[in-house]
């Protein structure tokens, strides 16, 4: 299982294969679509057969619950961000909404300013957007010890 990483800075801790960024969930989805391990490798050439086997073994061990992201709890430092496995598959959202932190970050990274993001999501406040960005920055700033975040 050393080929599987769960780093909250990558896909919010969703189990991924090594440093490829390919999630175990993606491999399982391809398998469920009827692809063989060799066909999965054709679809994802950066993976080895050992990677595919590790993803399948991970799923056998942890089942579907093991495919979910594991983002850190926002805690009191980020009161406008919520993590709930029953909301948006456990990805961080703005509390009381289904708007993911990733949706906000995507706009921010595409060069949208605060007002433009608020135009896209009129139910949000400036504080919601700022807290989502601050939460992401805090998660990315976590130190890594022994290959996993501390």
For the chain, which domains are there?
4-67 (1.10.10.10), 81-144 (1.10.10.10)
pTM for this model (two decimals): 0.80
The position carrying tokens 């679809």 is: 43
How many residues would you count in the chain? 150
Which of 2, 123, 11 lies closest to 70 in space, CA to CA? 11
pLDDT digits (tens, 9 = 90+) for 39-56: 999 999 999 999 999 999
pLDDT confidence bin for 141, thresholds 50/70/90:
confident
> Lowest-confidence range among 4-8, 45-49, 138-142?
138-142
> Within its chain, how far is the Cα of 79 from the centroid?
20
The rounded distance, in Å, linking the Cα atoms of 114 and 120 is 10
pLDDT of residue 127: 98
């Amino acid at each position: 299982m050393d080929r599987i990483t769960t780093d909250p800075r990558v896909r919010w801790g969703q189990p991924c294969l090594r440093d490829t960024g390919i999630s175990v969930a993606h491999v399982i989805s391809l398998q469920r679509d009827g692809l063989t391990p060799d066909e999965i490798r054709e679809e994802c050439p950066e993976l080895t057969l050992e990677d595919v086997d590790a993803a399948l073994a991970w799923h056998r061990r942890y089942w579907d619950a093991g495919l979910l992201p594991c983002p850190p709890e926002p805690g009191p430092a980020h009161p406008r961000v919520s993590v709930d496995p029953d909301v948006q598959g456990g990805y961080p959202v703005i509390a009381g909404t289904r708007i993911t932190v990733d949706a906000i970050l995507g706009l921010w990274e595409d060069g949208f300013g605060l007002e433009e993001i608020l135009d896209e999501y009129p139910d949000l406040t400036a504080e919601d957007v700022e807290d989502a960005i601050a939460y992401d920055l805090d998660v990315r700033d976590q130190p890594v010890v022994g290959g996993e975040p501390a």
